[in-house]
C-alpha cells in the first residue's frame, strides 16, 4: 500500500459537512488531488506524490515506511497529515495474474496516516500488514480512527501507539487496474478462490519508498 483508494462522500455526512467540492471516488490513484487533514480542524487539498529531488524525470514518492520514516532525509522536514478514505485496494499475485481485493470498514470513514510538504505533495505512510490482511499483501496503510488522529498528527513514534482497526476485504473486478474506471461497480464483490498466503503483488509497494513516475493504470 498504497496505490489506489476510495472516498465516497455522498453517503457520509461527516465528509459532506466539510464543504469539500468532491464527487464520489472509487479509484483514487497517485498524482491525484486528495483530501488531507493537517491538524485537528484544518482540511486541505494536496497532490498525492512528493517530487523526488534532482530526478529530473517527473518521479514521485507516494508511500513511505513508518518503520524508517525518521531515517529518510526526504521526510525529515515534512509535516504529518491524514488522508480521508473509506477503503483501499491491494493486489494479490495468483500465478501470472494479479487479483485486486477491496479493503474497507463497512463503508465507515477512516483516516490514513501521511506526511505532507505543504504546497508540494503528500505521501501515505505504511506498516507491516496485520493478520488476516497479510494474506493479501505484506504491507498496509497505517489506519487511524477519530480517537487516535491527534496522536498521529502530534507525533506518535510507533505503531504500538496507534489502533489496530478491524478491516473486511473481498475480491473485486480487475477493472480497478485502469484509472479510467472510477465507479461504484469497482467495489462490488466478485467470485475468486480464497487468498493463499505468500502470493502478493507490488502495486502497493512494501519497499522503503514507492516511486511513481508517469503512473499508469
Min mean pLDDT across 3-12, 89-98, 206-215 is at 206-215
Residues 149-203 have pLDDT tens digits of 888 898 876 666 777 889 999 999 999 999 999 999 999 999 886 655 444 443 3
Q: Is the pTM of this model over 0.85?
A: no
Domains and CATH numbers, the chain: 5-213 (3.90.1680.10)
β 121-128/110-117 pair status: antiparallel
Return d(Cα 91, Cα 176) in angstroms, integer. Answer: 10
Q: Tell me, what's the pLDDT at 74?
A: 87
Return d(Cα 43, Cα 114) in angstroms, integer. Answer: 13
62 has a pLDDT exceeding 90: yes
Q: Tell me, what's the pLDDT at 202?
A: 39
516511486: which residue's cell? 211
17 has a pLDDT exceeding 80: no
List CB contacts of 49: < 8 A, sequence separation 6 or more: 30, 31, 60, 61, 62, 121, 122, 123, 212
Three-state DSSP state, 180: coil
Return d(Cα 37, Cα 46) in angstroms, integer. Answer: 10
DSSP 73: G
Return d(Cα 210, Cα 123) in angstroms, integer. Answer: 9
Return d(Cα 28, Cα 124) in angstroms, integer. Answer: 13
Higher pLDDT, 132 or 32: 32
Mean pLDDT of 110-116: 93
Helix (H) or strand (E) holding 110: strand 110-117
Amino acid at each position: 500500500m498504497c496505490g489506489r483508494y476510495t472516498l465516497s462522500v455522498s453517503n457520509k455526512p461527516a465528509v459532506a459537512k466539510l464543504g469539500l467540492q468532491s464527487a464520489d471516488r472509487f479509484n483514487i490513484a497517485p498524482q491525484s488531488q486528495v483530501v488531507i487533514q493537517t491538524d485537528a480542524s484544518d482540511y486541505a487539498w494536496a497532490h498525492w506524490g512528493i517530487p523526488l529531488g534532482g530526478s529530473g524525470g517527473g518521479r514521485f514518492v507516494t508511500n513511505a515506511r513508518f518503520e524508517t520514516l525518521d531515517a529518510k532525509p526526504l521526510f525529515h522536514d515534512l509535516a504529518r497529515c491524514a488522508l480521508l478514505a473509506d477503503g483501499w485496494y491491494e493486489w494479490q499475485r495468483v500465478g501470472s495474474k494479479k487479483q485486486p481485493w477491496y479493503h474497507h470498514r463497512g463503508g465507515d470513514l477512516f483516516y490514513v496516516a501521511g506526511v505532507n510538504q505543504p504546497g508540494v505533495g503528500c505521501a501515505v505512510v505504511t506498516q507491516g500488514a496485520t493478520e488476516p490482511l497479510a494474506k493479501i499483501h505484506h504491507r498496509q496503510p497505517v489506519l487511524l480512527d477519530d480517537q487516535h488522529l491527534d496522536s498521529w498528527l502530534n507525533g506518535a513514534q510507533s505503531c504500538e501507539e496507534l489502533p489496530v482497526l478491524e478491516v473486511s476485504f473481498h475480491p473485486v473486478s480487475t477493472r480497478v487496474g485502469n484509472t479510467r474506471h472510477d465507479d461504484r461497480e469497482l467495489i462490488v464483490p466478485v467470485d475468486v478462490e480464497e487468498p493463499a498466503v505468500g502470493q502478493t503483488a507490488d502495486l502497493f509497494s512494501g519497499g522503503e519508498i514507492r516511486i511513481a513516475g508517469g503512473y499508469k493504470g
